[in-house]
Structure 1
Amino acid sequence: MLNRLFLSAGTWTALGLASGLYWREMTKINEFTGDTMLSGAHTHALALGTLVFLAVLALAKVFPIAEKSAKLFTILYNTGLAFTFGSMVVKGTLQVLELDIATSAMWPGFAGLGHMLLTGTWVYFFLILRKALKVDAAQARDAATVGA
Structure 2
Amino acid sequence: MRRLLNTAHIYMIVGLVSGFFYRGLTKLNDFTGDTQLGLVHTHALALGMLVFLLVLVLEKQFGLTSNRLFGWFFWVYNAGLVLSLVMMTLHGTLTVLGRPSGDAIALAAGLGHVLLTVGLVLLFITLGKVAPAKARPDDAPAQALRESADPQAIG
Q: TM over 0.5: same fold? A: yes
* Paired residue type of 2:59: A
The runs of 5 or more residues in structure 1 that have no matched partner are none
Q: Give runs of aligned pairs for residues 1-148 of structure 1, distance below 5 A.
A: 2-67=1-66, 68-100=68-100, 102=101, 104-137=102-135, 144=143
State TM-score, norm by structure 2.
0.84
Q: How far does residue 80 in structure 1 lie from its aligned partner after superposition?
A: 0.4
Q: How far does residue 137 in structure 1 lie from its aligned partner after superposition?
A: 4.3
Q: Which has the higher contact order (CA 8 A, sep 6+)?
A: 1
Q: How far does residue 59 in structure 1 lie from its aligned partner after superposition?
A: 0.5
Cα RMSD for the two superposed structures: 2.2
* Aligned mates of 2:12, 2:126 — CA distance in 1: 25
> Where do 4+ consecutive residues of structure 1 move more than 4 Å?
137-141
Larger Rg belongs to: 2
* Aligned mates of 2:7, 2:69 — CA distance in 1: 16
Q: Contact 1:5–1:74 (CA<8 Å) still a contact in 2? A: no
State TM-score, norm by structure 1.
0.88
Q: Contact 2:70–2:122 (CA<8 Å) still a contact in 1? A: no
* Aligned mates of 2:136, 2:87 — CA distance in 1: 44
Q: How far does residue 64 in structure 1 lie from its aligned partner after superposition?
A: 2.4
- Name whichever structure is richer in helix by fraction: 1
Q: Identity of counterpart residues, as a percentage? A: 41
- The 3-state SS of whatever aligns with 1:33 is coil
- The 3-state SS of whatever aligns with 1:136 is coil
The runs of 5 or more residues in structure 2 that have no matched partner are 149-155
- The 3-state SS of whatever aligns with 2:132 is helix
Q: Deviations over 1:12-33 (max 9, x none)?
A: 0000000000000000001111
Change (3 A) 1:94 1:63: same
* Count of matched residue positions in the alignment of Structure 1 and Structure 2: 143
* Paired residue type of 1:16: G
* Aligned mates of 1:54, 1:85 — CA distance in 2: 19
* Aligned mates of 2:31, 2:41 — CA distance in 1: 18
Point out the more displaced range, 131-140 or 106-115: 131-140
Q: Deviations over 1:118-144 (max 9, x none)?
A: 101111110100111121149979xx5
Change (3 A) 1:37 1:137: same
* Aligned mates of 2:120, 2:40 — CA distance in 1: 20
* Paired residue type of 1:132: V
Q: Deviations over 1:96-127 (max 9, x none)?
A: 11113x2x122221111011001011111101
